[in-house]
Amino acid sequence: MTTMTGTTGTVQVYRVYIRATPEAIWEAITTPEWTQRYGYGSPVEYELRPGGAYRGLATAEMKAMGGEDVVVDGEVLEADPPRRLVQTWRARWLGEGFTRLTWEIEEGDSGVTTLTVTHDVDGAPSTAAQVAGTVPNAGGGWSYILSDLKTLLETGRPLAG
Amino acid sequence: MVTYFRPMTDDDRVFKALADRTRRFLLDLLFVRDGRTLTELESELEMTRFGVMKHLRVLEDAGLVVTRRSGREKLHFLNPVPIRLIHDRWIDKYTERQVSALTDLKTELEEEA
Protein backbone atom coordinates (compact mmCIF):
# COMPACT_ATOMS: atom_id res chain seq x y z
CA MET A 1 0.00 0.00 0.00
CA THR A 2 1.28 3.41 -0.85
CA THR A 3 1.62 5.91 1.91
CA MET A 4 -1.16 8.42 2.24
CA THR A 5 0.73 10.89 4.38
CA GLY A 6 0.41 14.38 3.07
CA THR A 7 -2.30 13.50 0.60
CA THR A 8 -5.25 13.77 2.97
CA GLY A 9 -8.16 15.24 1.12
CA THR A 10 -6.77 14.51 -2.31
CA VAL A 11 -7.25 10.76 -2.30
CA GLN A 12 -10.55 9.26 -3.36
CA VAL A 13 -11.40 5.67 -2.45
CA TYR A 14 -14.12 3.64 -4.14
CA ARG A 15 -15.03 0.09 -3.19
CA VAL A 16 -17.47 -2.34 -4.70
CA TYR A 17 -18.26 -5.98 -3.94
CA ILE A 18 -18.78 -8.04 -7.07
CA ARG A 19 -19.99 -11.62 -7.41
CA ALA A 20 -17.28 -12.58 -9.91
CA THR A 21 -13.78 -14.04 -9.90
CA PRO A 22 -10.70 -11.79 -9.59
CA GLU A 23 -9.72 -12.96 -13.09
CA ALA A 24 -13.03 -11.82 -14.58
CA ILE A 25 -12.70 -8.41 -12.91
CA TRP A 26 -9.10 -8.04 -14.11
CA GLU A 27 -10.21 -8.80 -17.68
CA ALA A 28 -13.07 -6.32 -17.39
CA ILE A 29 -10.66 -3.55 -16.37
CA THR A 30 -7.83 -4.21 -18.79
CA THR A 31 -9.33 -5.35 -22.10
CA PRO A 32 -11.14 -3.20 -24.67
CA GLU A 33 -13.71 -5.93 -25.35
CA TRP A 34 -14.96 -5.44 -21.79
CA THR A 35 -14.41 -1.74 -21.19
CA GLN A 36 -16.60 -0.93 -24.18
CA ARG A 37 -19.51 -2.55 -22.40
CA TYR A 38 -19.74 -0.46 -19.24
CA GLY A 39 -19.13 3.03 -17.89
CA TYR A 40 -18.36 5.53 -20.62
CA GLY A 41 -17.65 2.68 -23.06
CA SER A 42 -14.14 3.84 -23.84
CA PRO A 43 -11.94 1.02 -25.25
CA VAL A 44 -8.66 0.73 -23.35
CA GLU A 45 -5.16 -0.25 -24.42
CA TYR A 46 -2.89 -1.53 -21.66
CA GLU A 47 0.70 -2.69 -21.92
CA LEU A 48 0.63 -4.65 -18.69
CA ARG A 49 4.23 -4.20 -17.52
CA PRO A 50 5.97 -1.45 -15.56
CA GLY A 51 6.61 1.43 -17.94
CA GLY A 52 3.95 0.19 -20.36
CA ALA A 53 1.52 2.57 -21.98
CA TYR A 54 -2.12 3.02 -21.06
CA ARG A 55 -4.67 4.66 -23.33
CA GLY A 56 -8.40 5.18 -23.11
CA LEU A 57 -9.77 5.74 -26.60
CA ALA A 58 -12.65 7.91 -27.67
CA THR A 59 -15.97 6.24 -28.39
CA ALA A 60 -17.79 7.10 -31.62
CA GLU A 61 -20.00 9.38 -29.55
CA MET A 62 -17.02 11.23 -28.07
CA LYS A 63 -15.48 11.65 -31.52
CA ALA A 64 -18.76 13.02 -32.81
CA MET A 65 -18.56 15.66 -30.10
CA GLY A 66 -15.18 16.69 -31.46
CA GLY A 67 -12.97 14.80 -29.01
CA GLU A 68 -9.44 13.57 -29.70
CA ASP A 69 -8.79 9.90 -30.43
CA VAL A 70 -7.06 9.35 -27.07
CA VAL A 71 -9.12 10.76 -24.21
CA VAL A 72 -7.19 9.37 -21.25
CA ASP A 73 -3.55 8.32 -21.08
CA GLY A 74 -0.94 7.21 -18.60
CA GLU A 75 1.73 4.67 -17.73
CA VAL A 76 1.54 1.30 -16.02
CA LEU A 77 3.61 1.32 -12.83
CA GLU A 78 2.77 -2.13 -11.44
CA ALA A 79 0.84 -5.01 -12.95
CA ASP A 80 0.19 -8.08 -10.82
CA PRO A 81 -2.73 -9.92 -12.44
CA PRO A 82 -5.35 -10.46 -11.16
CA ARG A 83 -4.64 -8.66 -7.89
CA ARG A 84 -3.14 -5.26 -8.33
CA LEU A 85 -2.67 -2.64 -11.01
CA VAL A 86 -1.03 0.72 -10.39
CA GLN A 87 -0.91 3.32 -13.11
CA THR A 88 -0.80 7.01 -13.84
CA TRP A 89 -3.93 8.55 -15.30
CA ARG A 90 -4.58 11.80 -17.11
CA ALA A 91 -7.82 13.05 -18.62
CA ARG A 92 -6.37 14.85 -21.61
CA TRP A 93 -9.22 17.31 -22.11
CA LEU A 94 -8.83 18.73 -18.61
CA GLY A 95 -5.32 20.06 -19.14
CA GLU A 96 -3.99 18.82 -15.80
CA GLY A 97 -1.04 16.58 -14.95
CA PHE A 98 -0.90 12.83 -14.35
CA THR A 99 -2.65 11.41 -11.31
CA ARG A 100 -2.10 8.04 -9.68
CA LEU A 101 -4.65 5.26 -9.85
CA THR A 102 -4.53 1.96 -7.96
CA TRP A 103 -6.82 -1.00 -8.61
CA GLU A 104 -6.89 -3.68 -5.91
CA ILE A 105 -8.76 -6.93 -6.36
CA GLU A 106 -9.25 -9.16 -3.34
CA GLU A 107 -10.98 -12.51 -3.39
CA GLY A 108 -13.43 -12.95 -0.53
CA ASP A 109 -15.81 -15.58 0.81
CA SER A 110 -18.51 -17.26 -1.22
CA GLY A 111 -17.51 -15.95 -4.62
CA VAL A 112 -17.65 -12.25 -3.78
CA THR A 113 -14.59 -10.24 -4.77
CA THR A 114 -13.72 -6.78 -3.45
CA LEU A 115 -12.56 -4.21 -5.96
CA THR A 116 -11.04 -1.06 -4.49
CA VAL A 117 -10.10 1.89 -6.67
CA THR A 118 -7.86 4.49 -5.06
CA HIS A 119 -7.36 7.65 -7.05
CA ASP A 120 -4.72 10.08 -5.82
CA VAL A 121 -5.71 13.32 -7.50
CA ASP A 122 -3.18 15.52 -5.72
CA GLY A 123 -2.68 18.74 -7.65
CA ALA A 124 -5.49 18.03 -10.10
CA PRO A 125 -8.72 19.64 -8.84
CA SER A 126 -10.61 19.40 -12.15
CA THR A 127 -9.71 15.72 -12.42
CA ALA A 128 -10.87 15.25 -8.81
CA ALA A 129 -14.27 16.78 -9.60
CA GLN A 130 -14.60 14.82 -12.83
CA VAL A 131 -13.90 11.40 -11.32
CA ALA A 132 -16.02 12.16 -8.24
CA GLY A 133 -18.92 12.82 -10.60
CA THR A 134 -19.58 16.29 -9.24
CA VAL A 135 -19.30 18.09 -12.60
CA PRO A 136 -22.87 18.74 -13.85
CA ASN A 137 -23.74 16.82 -17.04
CA ALA A 138 -20.29 15.24 -17.24
CA GLY A 139 -21.07 11.73 -16.06
CA GLY A 140 -21.05 10.01 -12.71
CA GLY A 141 -17.34 9.33 -12.34
CA TRP A 142 -15.96 6.23 -10.63
CA SER A 143 -19.18 5.53 -8.70
CA TYR A 144 -21.10 5.26 -11.93
CA ILE A 145 -18.40 3.21 -13.69
CA LEU A 146 -18.04 0.73 -10.82
CA SER A 147 -21.79 0.39 -10.32
CA ASP A 148 -22.16 -0.36 -14.04
CA LEU A 149 -19.21 -2.80 -13.97
CA LYS A 150 -20.83 -4.70 -11.09
CA THR A 151 -24.15 -4.90 -12.94
CA LEU A 152 -22.46 -6.09 -16.14
CA LEU A 153 -20.40 -8.81 -14.45
CA GLU A 154 -23.28 -10.05 -12.30
CA THR A 155 -26.08 -9.93 -14.86
CA GLY A 156 -24.27 -10.01 -18.22
CA ARG A 157 -25.90 -6.70 -19.08
CA PRO A 158 -24.91 -3.12 -18.34
CA LEU A 159 -27.35 -0.72 -16.66
CA ALA A 160 -30.19 0.28 -18.93
CA GLY A 161 -29.08 3.38 -20.79
CA MET B 1 -35.28 -12.51 20.11
CA VAL B 2 -35.90 -11.50 16.53
CA THR B 3 -35.28 -14.13 13.90
CA TYR B 4 -34.56 -13.05 10.35
CA PHE B 5 -35.63 -15.35 7.56
CA ARG B 6 -32.95 -14.01 5.27
CA PRO B 7 -29.52 -12.62 6.02
CA MET B 8 -29.23 -8.85 5.68
CA THR B 9 -28.42 -7.83 2.14
CA ASP B 10 -26.00 -5.07 1.17
CA ASP B 11 -28.94 -2.75 0.52
CA ASP B 12 -30.40 -3.48 3.96
CA ARG B 13 -27.12 -2.46 5.57
CA VAL B 14 -26.92 0.75 3.57
CA PHE B 15 -30.49 1.79 4.38
CA LYS B 16 -29.97 0.93 8.05
CA ALA B 17 -26.73 2.92 8.15
CA LEU B 18 -28.38 5.93 6.52
CA ALA B 19 -31.36 5.82 8.85
CA ASP B 20 -29.48 7.70 11.55
CA ARG B 21 -28.79 11.42 11.71
CA THR B 22 -25.36 11.13 13.30
CA ARG B 23 -24.19 8.70 10.65
CA ARG B 24 -25.47 10.93 7.85
CA PHE B 25 -23.62 13.82 9.49
CA LEU B 26 -20.40 11.75 9.53
CA LEU B 27 -20.82 11.05 5.80
CA ASP B 28 -21.38 14.77 5.18
CA LEU B 29 -18.17 15.55 7.06
CA LEU B 30 -16.24 13.10 4.89
CA PHE B 31 -17.89 14.48 1.77
CA VAL B 32 -16.50 17.92 2.62
CA ARG B 33 -13.06 16.52 3.41
CA ASP B 34 -12.10 12.90 2.99
CA GLY B 35 -9.45 10.85 4.75
CA ARG B 36 -10.04 11.99 8.33
CA THR B 37 -8.95 10.26 11.53
CA LEU B 38 -11.31 9.25 14.34
CA THR B 39 -9.96 12.10 16.46
CA GLU B 40 -10.76 14.65 13.74
CA LEU B 41 -14.28 13.30 13.28
CA GLU B 42 -14.88 13.09 17.01
CA SER B 43 -14.02 16.79 17.43
CA GLU B 44 -17.02 17.69 15.23
CA LEU B 45 -19.54 15.80 17.37
CA GLU B 46 -20.93 16.09 20.87
CA MET B 47 -20.39 12.41 21.50
CA THR B 48 -17.96 10.06 23.19
CA ARG B 49 -15.13 8.54 21.18
CA PHE B 50 -16.72 5.15 21.72
CA GLY B 51 -20.05 6.39 20.34
CA VAL B 52 -18.40 7.78 17.19
CA MET B 53 -16.49 4.49 16.75
CA LYS B 54 -19.75 2.54 16.91
CA HIS B 55 -21.34 4.71 14.23
CA LEU B 56 -18.25 4.44 12.02
CA ARG B 57 -18.37 0.67 12.41
CA VAL B 58 -21.96 0.58 11.08
CA LEU B 59 -20.93 2.79 8.15
CA GLU B 60 -17.96 0.52 7.44
CA ASP B 61 -20.09 -2.61 7.56
CA ALA B 62 -22.40 -1.02 5.01
CA GLY B 63 -19.42 -0.20 2.79
CA LEU B 64 -20.14 3.54 3.03
CA VAL B 65 -16.85 4.20 4.77
CA VAL B 66 -13.55 2.58 3.80
CA THR B 67 -10.57 2.86 6.12
CA ARG B 68 -6.93 2.99 5.14
CA ARG B 69 -3.87 2.92 7.35
CA SER B 70 -1.35 5.68 6.99
CA GLY B 71 1.53 5.01 9.37
CA ARG B 72 -0.03 4.81 12.83
CA GLU B 73 -3.21 6.55 11.75
CA LYS B 74 -6.41 5.09 10.42
CA LEU B 75 -8.01 7.34 7.82
CA HIS B 76 -11.71 7.25 6.95
CA PHE B 77 -12.87 7.68 3.37
CA LEU B 78 -16.40 8.14 2.08
CA ASN B 79 -17.26 5.41 -0.41
CA PRO B 80 -20.18 6.66 -2.52
CA VAL B 81 -20.54 3.47 -4.58
CA PRO B 82 -23.24 1.80 -2.39
CA ILE B 83 -25.40 4.93 -2.67
CA ARG B 84 -24.84 4.94 -6.41
CA LEU B 85 -25.91 1.28 -6.57
CA ILE B 86 -29.14 2.10 -4.76
CA HIS B 87 -29.64 5.04 -7.09
CA ASP B 88 -29.05 2.90 -10.17
CA ARG B 89 -31.15 -0.02 -8.99
CA TRP B 90 -34.09 1.75 -7.42
CA ILE B 91 -34.33 5.39 -8.31
CA ASP B 92 -33.26 5.03 -11.93
CA LYS B 93 -35.52 2.08 -12.39
CA TYR B 94 -38.77 3.57 -11.20
CA THR B 95 -38.74 7.25 -10.70
CA GLU B 96 -35.72 9.11 -11.93
CA ARG B 97 -37.60 11.43 -14.24
CA GLN B 98 -40.23 12.35 -11.69
CA VAL B 99 -37.69 12.59 -8.89
CA SER B 100 -35.33 14.84 -10.82
CA ALA B 101 -38.26 17.05 -11.85
CA LEU B 102 -39.24 17.35 -8.20
CA THR B 103 -35.72 17.94 -6.91
CA ASP B 104 -35.20 20.58 -9.61
CA LEU B 105 -38.41 22.26 -8.48
CA LYS B 106 -37.32 22.08 -4.85
CA THR B 107 -33.93 23.59 -5.69
CA GLU B 108 -35.53 26.33 -7.74
CA LEU B 109 -38.07 27.22 -5.07
CA GLU B 110 -35.45 27.21 -2.35
CA GLU B 111 -33.16 29.44 -4.37
CA GLU B 112 -35.98 31.91 -4.89
CA ALA B 113 -36.90 31.88 -1.22
Helix (H) or strand (E) holding A33: helix A32-35
Q: Does the beta-carbon distance from B35 to A11 stay under 8 Å?
A: yes
Contact of B68 with chain A, judged by CB distance below 8 Å, is answered with yes
DSSP-based three-state secondary structure for A158? coil
Segment A90-114, tens digit of pLDDT: 999 999 999 999 999 999 988 999 9
Percent of chain A with pLDDT over 70: 93
Residue A71: what are its φ and ψ, rounded to 5°? Answer: -95, -35
- Domain ranges for chain A, please list them: 11-155
Q: Which among B79, B90, B97 is the top mutation candidate for probing chain A, defined by the most A β-carbons within 10 Å of its own β-carbon?
A: B79
Q: CA torsion sign, B110 to B106 to B64 to B54?
A: positive
For residue B80, give how far its alpha carbon lies from the nearest alpha carbon of chain A (Å).
6
pLDDT band at B112 (very low <50, low <70, confident <90, very high): confident
Spell out the residues 6+ positions from residue A138 whose beta carbon is closer than 8 angstroms to its own: A130
Spell out the residues 6+ positions from residue B30 whose beta carbon is closer than 8 angstroms to its own: B36, B41, B65, B76, B77, B78
How many distinct helices (H) and strands (E) make up chain B?
7, 2
Class level of CATH domain A11-155 = alpha beta
From B57-61, B73-77, B98-102, the region with the lowest mean pLDDT:
B98-102
For residues A41-46, give the mean pLDDT.
97
Q: Is A31 left (phi over 0), alpha (psi -120 to 50) or beta?
A: beta
For residues B18-42, give the mean pLDDT.
95
| Interface predicted TM-score (ipTM) of this complex, two decimals | 0.81
Contact of B75 with chain A, judged by CB distance below 8 Å, is answered with yes
> Helix %, strand %, coil % for chain A, to 5?
30, 30, 40
B residues 29-58 lying closer than 8 A (beta carbon) to A: 33-36
Minimal CA–CA distance to A42: which of A76, A87, A92, A88? A92
**Amino acid A65: pLDDT:** 85
DSSP-based three-state secondary structure for A70? strand
* A43 and A60 Cβ atoms separated by less than 8 Å: no
d(CA A80, CA B40): 35
